[in-house]
């Protein structure tokens, strides 16, 4: 079951930064190996992050994609609600899923062995509604910063509860990598479950082959 990080209401102009803060926090606690830590200041909140240009670019890209989907869904839901004189239903907005996988070897159908990717940790970031832009320093902005801090504490508590027995063994030959466990960051509609894992996971050796075949997993 995915651990859910929920922001009930978020300033339209600050939504992407709020998502960036939570993504960086999750990845900081789930990228094992030789990582270089650093601190970011996002919406006046100190955020732990991995000093890796690829990770930073990926976070920016996925946060932007999620907010784009969120804005489209919010506009559509608000329009539908106004015509029916009802409220926008909570849980009807898209979510941003983050899943981490381990590689397992299983017996093939003809005396062979095949690798499969098995999800061992999953998270969902959800923003229930978007609000009008706020002014710096006002109560709405401070409330968002507090919500982000609470979500970050939730990540820390969850990670601490899921002790070493929960984390799969790190492959010996991948211990020096920042991400020995392939992962996916994907925008999904409300209630959508992850697909069977194929190719194109971040950190997976087969990612290049997947892209060559046009089977990239990210959306």
Quick check: 61 pLDDT over 80?
yes
Residue 134 to residues 43, 93, 104, 147, 184: CA-CA distances in angstroms?
A: 12, 21, 48, 16, 32
CATH of domain 3-212: 3.30.900
- Residue 98: the pLDDT is 97
pLDDT of 206 above 70: no
Residue 161 vs residue 22, higher pLDDT: 22
What are the φ and ψ backbone dihedral angles of 82, each rounded to 5 degrees?
-70, -35
Residue of 176, 170, 182 whose CA lies nearest to 210: 182
Mean per-residue pLDDT, 129-156: 87
Q: Write the pLDDT tens digit of every residue in 66-93.
A: 999 999 988 887 776 555 544 455 557 8
pLDDT score, position 103: 84
Asked which of 36-50, 84-98, 131-145, 204-218 is least confident by mean pLDDT, the reply is 204-218
Which of the residue ranges 44-48, 139-143, 157-161 would you say has the lowest mean pLDDT?
Answer: 139-143
Q: What percentage of the chain reaches a pLDDT higher than 70?
A: 73
Of the candidates 169, 176, 180, which has an alpha carbon nearest to the alpha carbon of residue 205? 180
Chain segment 143-167, per-residue pLDDT in tens: 999 999 999 999 999 999 987 778 8
Residue 197's nearest CA partner among 126, 94, 120 is: 120
Q: Is a pLDDT exceeding 70 seen at residue 22? A: yes
Highest mean predicted confidence (pLDDT) among 17-21, 129-133, 177-181, 204-208: 17-21
Neighbours of 129 (CB within 10 A): 17
Q: What is the structure's pLDDT at 203?
A: 60
Mean pLDDT calculated for residue range 178-192? 83
Residue 149 in contact with residue 181, Cβ under 8 Å? no
């Amino acid at each position: 079951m995915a651990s859910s990080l929920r922001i009930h209401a978020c300033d339209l102009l600050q939504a992407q930064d709020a998502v960036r803060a939570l993504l960086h926090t999750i990845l900081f606690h789930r990228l094992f190996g030789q990582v270089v830590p650093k601190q970011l200041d996002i919406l006046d909140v100190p955020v732990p992050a991995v000093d890796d240009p690829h990770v930073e670019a990926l976070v920016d890209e996925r946060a932007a994609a999620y907010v784009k989907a969120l804005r489209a869904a919010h506009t559509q839901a608000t329009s539908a609600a106004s015509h029916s004189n009802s409220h926008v239903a909570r849980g009807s907005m898209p979510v941003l899923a983050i899943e981490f996988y381990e590689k397992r070897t299983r017996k093939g159908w003809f005396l062979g062995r095949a690798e499969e990717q098995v999800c061992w940790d999953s998270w969902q970031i959800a923003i229930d509604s978007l609000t009008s832009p706020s002014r710096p320093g006002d109560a709405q902005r401070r409330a968002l910063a507090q919500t982000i801090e609470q979500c970050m504490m939730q990540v820390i508590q969850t990670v601490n509860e899921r002790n070493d027995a929960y984390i799969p063994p790190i492959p010996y030959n991948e211990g020096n990598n920042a991400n020995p466990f392939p992962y996916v960051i994907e925008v999904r509609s409300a209630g959508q479950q992850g697909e069977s894992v194929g190719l194109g996971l971040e950190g997976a050796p087969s990612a290049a082959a997947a892209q060559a075949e046009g089977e990239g997993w990210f959306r």
